[in-house]
Amino acid sequence: MSQEVVKPACRKDVNTERGRWWHRSLFIVGSIGASIGLPNIWKFPFLTFKHTGPMYILAYLAAIIVVGWPMHLLESTLGQKMQRGSAGALRGITPRLAGAGWVASFSGLIISLIYTILLGLNLYFLMVAGGEPWNQSTYVRALSCDTAERQASTSTELFLFFNVVKILDEKTCQPFTDTLDEYHFNTPLFIGVLVTWLLIFMFIVMGIKTIRVGTIIVVPFSIIALFVCLAHYVGLNGSVAGKGFEYYLQGPDASELNPFPFPRPYQTLETLFKDAYSQVFYSMGVCMGVHFAYGSYNHIKKPVILDSFIISFIGFLFSFVVGFMARGAIGYLNFKNDPDQSQNSSVGLTYIAFPKAASLNGSVGMYIFFLIFMFCTGITQTYALVLGFVINLTDYFKCAIWKAALPVVIFGIIASTAYTSNSGWILFDLTEHFILRYIVIAVGFLQCVSVGWVFEYFTTANTSP
């Protein structure tokens, strides 16, 4: 005897008049825009430096297969079925899980603070890059940095850490040490962050139309720009017969020359897989409420599995290609025996190594194009993270989207002031570490438990359209 499905009793709790993607392909491309961003550009290459390139690439691919793809499928499917954001979708399974949805989207909002700082820094470099203020021939060292201890620091490094982010103290040219140094607010960086938040607010207020425009214009531009930058930096490495790609694809011990004298502490498999899995959460935006929101704009019966597979693995390919771009720049600097070849950390790679390679090669215009590419790629993902929290507010309070977005953006602007100072970079690292290593993983565990052991078809059918 078949069990009768009762007509939904809580239909009024669901926004059935949501905007829709025009086509299935738009959902795929839009979700790709939410799944590729700054972590793919400035974090992934650093992790391939930290670990041997091939080992990390394989570990990252395994993490996408084990965690990234399944979590993306889970979130976009639940968002689509419930037609709600993360909090409402998990509440549809059981009210007690609504908190996990709120924590997920709030974690995404906090991570967006980091992204807006990087995008603000990106805008600052865009404004000044034409004059090459980091160039050794024109850069004037402060007296506090013109010491024997700081002679090893290049002009590019000092420009970033002393002049821009001000993590080096003006009097001593030493890194900020919490309570021992004076507090310095970074006005130019804050202006860049403010502009970024205003853009995000404008995009959110425009609603689903913004995602459609971003899908049609910004995401394809990011993919095309990636290959333009790749061609340039591959050519840069090839012009001097650099060893960047050999080191990337074969590992540090594959060549007898082993041309990269980076300090490489012994990395355990535990560290390797921790970094790989954290990067999957960071780059794909899973367990942060994003894909619930994007899935909720789908028609309820739309196929999801193949779409999720495409989105997840294009994100992997994007990161893999970016690795070649980064190794091209580092390989060129290595051939030139430039000390900035050791700037393989996240911020150091994009704001020290890349501009130095541009100055040495006379290709500052290409570096400006790279900054535009990085901003466009980063703004789509940052917008998606903020949208994930805003959608939860609109679902819960049944309010206009601008009324939900306004307090969120004001909060983001105020909270960003903590990061736009000489102490901000300490908070920057702490935020990234605790959100990715603990909170997001806990949210992912709760989501898996809720679907695997709590989800009941006939009960959920009564609370979804």
pTM over 0.85: yes
- Indicate the fold that domain 27-461 takes in CATH: Hydantoin permease (1.10.4160)
Per-residue pLDDT of the chain (465 residues; tens, 9 = 90+): 333 333 333 334 444 567 888 888 889 999 999 999 999 998 899 888 888 788 899 999 999 999 999 999 999 999 998 999 999 999 988 888 899 899 999 999 999 999 999 999 999 999 999 999 999 888 988 888 888 778 888 999 999 988 888 888 778 888 877 655 567 788 899 999 999 999 999 999 887 777 777 778 899 999 999 999 999 999 999 888 888 888 787 765 544 444 444 445 546 788 888 889 989 998 999 999 999 999 999 988 889 999 999 999 999 999 999 999 998 999 999 889 899 988 877 788 999 999 999 999 999 999 999 999 999 999 999 999 999 999 999 999 999 999 999 999 999 999 999 888 877 777 877 787 788 778 888 888 888 877 777 766 555 555 555
Q: List, as own/partner pairs, every contact residues 441-444 make where C-beta atoms lie below 8 angstroms and the sequence separation is at least 24, other chains included.
A: 441/281, 441/287, 443/100, 443/103, 443/104, 443/107, 443/287, 444/67, 444/71, 444/281, 444/286, 444/287
CA distances from residue 406 to 70, 171, 190, 240, 410 in whole angstroms, order as listed: 33, 40, 19, 51, 6
How is the chain split into domains, by residue range?
A: 27-461
For CA atoms 298, 85, 412, 315, the dihedral sign is negative
Question: 333-343 burial, b for 16+ CB within 10 Å, e for fewer?
Answer: bbbbebebbbb
Question: Cβ-count burial of 319 within 10 angstroms (0-12 exposed, 13-18 middle, 19+ buried)?
Answer: buried
| Tally of CB atoms within 10 A around 86 | 37
Label residue 362 left, alpha or beta by phi (over 0 means left) and psi (-120 to 50 means alpha).
Answer: left
β-partners of residue 185 are: 421
Task: Give the orientation angle of helix 98-128 with respect to helix 424-434, to 10 degrees.
Answer: 140
The HSE-up count of residue 459 (CA atoms within 13 Å, CB side) is 9
Round to whole Å and give the CA distance between 465 and 82: 7
